[in-house]
Amino acid sequence: MGHLPPLAQWLHLDWMLVIVAGWLVVSAAGVLVLHRFALVSRVLFPIGGLFSLAIFGVALDATLNAPEVAIMPIGLPGLPFHFRLDSLSAYFLMVLGAASAGISIFAAGYFRKGEGTPPGLLCLEYHVFLASMVGVLLADDAYSFMVMWETMALSSFFLVTANHRIPEVRRAGFLYIVMAHIGAIAVLLCFGVLQANTGDYTFANMRAQVLTPFWSSIGFLLAVLGFGAKAGVLPLHVWLPEAHPAAPSPVSALMSGVMLNSAIYGLLRVSFDLLHMRLWWWGGVLLAIGLATALFGVVFASVQTDMKRLLAYSSIENMGMLFVGMGLTLIFSAYDMKPMAALALTATLYHVASHSCFKSLLFLGTGSVLHATAERSLGKLGGLIRTMPWVGWLMLLGVLAAAGLPPLGGFVSEWLLLQSFLFTPGLPVPVLTMLIPVVAALIALVAALAGYTMVKFFGVIFLGQPREEKLAHAHDAGGLERAGMVWLALGCVALGLLPTQFIQLIDPVTQQLVASGLGARVGASGWLLAPTSLAQASYGPVIFLLGILASFALAYLLVRKFYHGRLRRSLPWACGFPWGSARMQDTAEGFGQPIRQIFEPFFLMQRELPSAFDEKPQYRVKVEDHFWRWVYEPITKLAAVLGRLFGLLQQGRISVYLLYSFVTLVVTLLVVMR
């Protein structure tokens, strides 16, 4: 160790690896103080959060730098880990650092004594999870990538099953681990295709290989399957609404807000970095999958009655949007339309960041609500903005961002995406030119439905009258929880108000992947975001916000100057009906009813309606997913049948097994002799 260079000469990558090592130390410390609750939550988690901030800082600095590589002789002999930090991974690391910093600070105040897993073990799993996600983003060969990918899946599996005494949680965990491994196999096979029989699994070698269109397509489709399973796109989505809500809220936030990004990263890495050719129909495949996923996700989100499941479906929707963005980028770059590809890719990457911010924020908020009320069901919440003002108002910011409303983060990415749809002249295939506006129409529909869903989410939880007695005593989030949420809410606001500055960070990534960027053009127009030209389209969120605020303030002052500010409190008017109770508000089912009716073919619904003569009238509606019935149930049945057939082989008598060995030997010998 005598030849370590001075600190000033350390590369960004070195710092990253040091931070990862720091996380591992924190997790080991967690094991040492397994049951010392205060130590784990008040010391170790904040330290982990500081490391996240450090990742954010280093990655922010590294986006503009040339790629850095490192080879670490850990792992198997002769198979060292290759690491590489380029603009793409630096960008995703930055998002990871920013989101996980808020989540870790929140987690420090969140975990309570005596919930399932001991705190030290949670600390271990949590920080190994973080470290493995960083590892995935840094990996530069298939071997280390797969090791990190599997560590990520396993550590998050243990986090999901933290409350393993509940049977549903165990079921969710099982489903998750199965789907994660199906995805992992596809990713592994994809790398197998990409190395083109050279036996060298480094990404550098994969970049050097030139594949035929056929093998490129196979590799791409395997990547879509593998990373799509992680992102929860149709039809591989079933695990997501089970697993994400089952985990403790900070972990849900980490999984939805951060881990899903690793799937997007993987797909970008394979299709824009490792593969050389891009065919237009690849983009078509991604567009189709993405649209179906987005529409499915948002429609299902709007009928959910469990607040965390609602958010999980909303994650599915956002992953669909990201797939649409990537599909569009692929189409444009297949026809070598670089500025358009850069625009679509910028929209995608922007959405990655804003989704991380608002989804983490919303999941953390549900955690605070859960702690304050012990309720996840929307039907038993209500009116919490009065007892939990901090959580309520911070969540309002997250909800507005998630609904894609200006001037917050979600709107900018939606705006950029619609811009890239709109100006698609010059695509050589007329069918595509015709199809793309239809896709834009569906995107607009999805965005509007997201608004509906978010109004339902916020309105039912935080507004109205409390639907249960105990909600009147709900306590607001503690200091650390607030700090974590404020950090993420600031992220949502900053992403909404400073798009030109943020796009400068995305510019190196688009330069790397599609050899063009928006940075120069956007930078030229100052505070206005004008991706093509000022005459074509521009958006200035700061002026936009100031315009609304100015007119808000003027109206307020003028009304008070010319009239008065008298206010009287009284009973609600409600058309003069005095017996209104909390039970008469819309429930979550009620709010979702129009969607259930309009999008009826999407659902598999079972309804039990009470008749007039019921002694105890009951209304029950069960909304299920067609995919579960028509895709997964047949597969599970097939697996059961196959299992029984294999069971026939196992007689449990040693003579039979000896017979098998003997027959195998004879057959092998016959094969060898020929």
Partner 1 sequence: MSFSGLLSQLLEIIIAIALAPLLTGWVNLWRAWLQNKSAPSIWLPYRLLHKLFNKESVIADNASTLFRAAPYVMFGCMTLATGIIPTLSTDLPLATAADAIALVGLFALARVFISLAAMDIGTAFGTMGARREMLVGFLAEPALLMVLFSASLISNSTSLTTIVDTLGHREFAIYPGLALAGVAFTMVSLAENARVPVDNPATHLELTMIHEALILEYSGRHLALIEWAISLKLFAYSCIGLALFFPWGVAQAQAPLDMLLALPVLVFKLAIGGFLLAVLETVSVKMRIFRVPEFLGTAFLLAVIGLLVHLLLVP
Q: Please identify, using beta-carbon distances, which residue of 166 and 448 lies nearer to partner 1.
A: 448
Q: Least distance from C-beta 521 to partner 1, angstroms?
A: 15
- Record the tokens describing residue 569, joined without a space: 């409190």
Q: Please identify, using beta-carbon distances, which residue of 101 and 497 lies nearer to partner 1.
A: 497
Q: Least distance from C-beta 567 to partner 1, angstroms?
A: 5
Q: Please identify, using beta-carbon distances, which residue of 103 and 402 lies nearer to partner 1.
A: 402
With 0-12 / 13-18 / 19 or more C-beta atoms within 10 angstroms meaning exposed / middle / buried, residue 484 is buried
521: left (phi over 0), alpha (psi -120 to 50) or beta: alpha
Q: Least distance from C-beta 264 to partner 1, angstroms?
A: 24
Q: CA separation (Å) from 593 to 294, 295, 439, 508?
A: 20, 17, 26, 46
What b/e readout covers 82-109, taking b as 16+ CB neighbours within 10 angstroms?
bbbbbbbbbbbbbbbbbbbbbbbbbbbb
Q: Please identify, using beta-carbon distances, which residue of 88 and 460 lies nearer to partner 1.
A: 460
The DSSP secondary-structure symbol of 306 reads B
With 0-12 / 13-18 / 19 or more C-beta atoms within 10 angstroms meaning exposed / middle / buried, residue 306 is middle
Q: Please identify, using beta-carbon distances, which residue of 415 and 487 lies nearer to partner 1.
A: 415
Q: Please identify, using beta-carbon distances, which residue of 8 and 567 lies nearer to partner 1.
A: 567
Q: Least distance from C-beta 485 to partner 1, angstroms?
A: 18
Q: Least distance from C-beta 22 to partner 1, angstroms?
A: 42
Q: Please identify, using beta-carbon distances, which residue of 308 and 456 lies nearer to partner 1.
A: 456
Question: Among 332, 350, 352, which residue's Cα sits nearest to residue 416?
Answer: 350
Q: Least distance from C-beta 259 to partner 1, angstroms?
A: 29
Handedness of CA 142, 144, 147, 153 (dihedral sign): negative
Q: Least distance from C-beta 291 to partner 1, angstroms?
A: 13
Q: Please identify, using beta-carbon distances, which residue of 80 and 464 lies nearer to partner 1.
A: 464
**Backbone φ, ψ for residue 35 (5° rounding):** -110, 5
**Backbone φ, ψ for residue 529 (5° rounding):** -90, 110
Distance of alpha carbon 437 from the chain centroid: 26
Cα angle for residues 457, 318, 586 (degrees, 5° grid): 15
Q: Least distance from C-beta 505 to partner 1, angstroms?
A: 22
Max intra-chain CA distance, the chain: 106
